[in-house]
């Protein structure tokens, strides 16, 4: 065998073609996943509070947004309101639908000193 025609392999640079994963990259990935998990838990707790305000007391309304993400959030948003309906406030008209009656307490409108247009 002629050593000048054999293929040359450098053992330190030979790899399978995949990039190497360093410890720093794994730590960064772990921190990103931890931050995402904390944000996901906060959102699930807030949507559980929204479900309680709508009158749904079950714990499953925490788990739906936590496990299913956007689909669970939309499900909590679409929940019907189970709170009792309050009666409407008594009707108090701001402006009466009829003209005021002229009398000692209500001068004629427009006042006589103003020209009519």
Instruction: With a cut of 60, say whether residue 1 has pLDDT above it.
Output: no
d(CA 47, CA 65): 7
Both tokens of 9, joined, read 């392999």
pLDDT, position 71: 93
Q: pLDDT tens digit string along 81-93?
A: 888 777 766 766 5
Q: pLDDT tens digit string along 24-55?
A: 989 999 999 999 999 999 999 999 999 999 98
pLDDT, position 70: 92
Question: What is the arithmetic mean of pLDDT over 97-101?
Answer: 59
Between 53 and 103, residue with greater pLDDT: 53
d(CA 111, CA 96): 20
pTM of the model: 0.54
């Amino acid at each position: 065998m002629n050593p000048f025609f054999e293929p040359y392999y450098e053992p330190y640079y030979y790899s399978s073609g995949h990039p190497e994963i360093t410890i720093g990259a794994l730590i960064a990935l772990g921190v990103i996943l931890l931050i995402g998990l904390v944000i996901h838990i906060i959102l699930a707790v807030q949507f559980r509070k929204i479900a309680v305000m709508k009158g749904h007391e079950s714990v499953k309304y925490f788990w739906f947004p936590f496990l299913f993400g956007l689909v669970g959030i939309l499900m909590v948003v679409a929940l019907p309101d189970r709170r009792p309906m309050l009666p409407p406030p008594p009707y108090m008209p701001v402006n009466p639908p009829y003209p005021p009656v002229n009398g000692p307490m209500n001068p004629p409108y427009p006042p006589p000193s103003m020209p009519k247009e």
